[in-house]
Amino acid sequence: MTQASQSCFQYGAQIHANGIRQHYLRYGGSDGTRAQRSAVILIPGITSPAVTWGFVAEHLGQQFDTYVLDVRGRGLSSSGPGLDYGLNAQAADVVEFAQALGLQNYALVGHSMGGRIAIRAASSQPAGLSKLVIVDPPVSGPERRAYPAALPWYVDSIRQANEGMDAQDMLKFCPSWTLEQRQLRAQWLHTCYESAIVQSFEDFGADDIHANLPSIKLPMLLITAERGDVVRDSDVAEWQQLAPQTLHTRVANAGHMIPWDNEAGFYAAFGDFLGAPVR
């Protein structure tokens, strides 16, 4: 992972929004030129606590006031039995998070499950939301092909993390990752509540995010991976038919976890869509 020239990490904090505790990390701040640009809310994927996206937020934060969320059931946000872990609740979390922080102009950047959350959130047309960046989202849904990952990959690794695991143990789950990447995942994976992950995974096949696309008129950038078979060319064509304003960039030499595989290519894929290049 490349590092920004100087850390722009501000702080970690928690806020009560949509009836739960939402934990987030803030990078960049709203001073200088950032004040003239949209803030960015980064929504990670199904088993990615906010801290695991810190290296990306360091780069986003150089140009934008950036907030990385712990989705409910992950990281330091509310978790455990009794919570609704469905897509609608997750989307409402994001909308009310932005409202609670008083963000009047913001973009959503969502990876994988986070991309689906961003689409569902945008479909409610919340005040202040100005742009969407959707990164390699599962395009599964009712009567669609299944998401290409397998649920036991998630469940088995979480259960082992709950017992205690290190980077060497993580190697069998993430064989292409660097030592640093595996260390961080091994440290934080135990914070992913198994029932939340199972419901999110099952909802990949139950929720139809394509039905939301025609109602979204905001500028949208779809970033997809060359490898992994999550989003095919035919899926991109359908997406752009449903939301014609969508721009698309496919990142070469990258699987589903795009910035882990080709970090420079991931940043380049943004261009100046957010108002300034990510670098």
- The Cα 265–Cα 261 span in angstroms is 9
What is the pLDDT at residue 279?
Answer: 86
- The Cα 111–Cα 204 span in angstroms is 14
- The Cα 54–Cα 151 span in angstroms is 25
Question: pLDDT tens digits for 102-149?
Answer: 999 999 999 999 999 999 999 999 999 999 999 999 999 999 999 999
Hey, which CATH number is domain 9-144+207-270, 1.10.1060.10, 3.40.50.150, 3.40.50.1820, 3.40.50.1110? 3.40.50.1820
What is the pLDDT at residue 2?
Answer: 57
Q: What are the distances in angstroms from CA 123 to CA 34, 188, 197?
A: 26, 31, 23
Question: pLDDT tens digits for 12-71?
Answer: 999 999 999 999 999 999 999 999 999 999 999 999 999 999 999 999 999 999 999 999
Residue 219: DSSP 8-state:
-
Question: pLDDT tens digits for 4-14?
Answer: 568 999 999 99
Percentage of the chain lying above the pLDDT 70 cut? 98
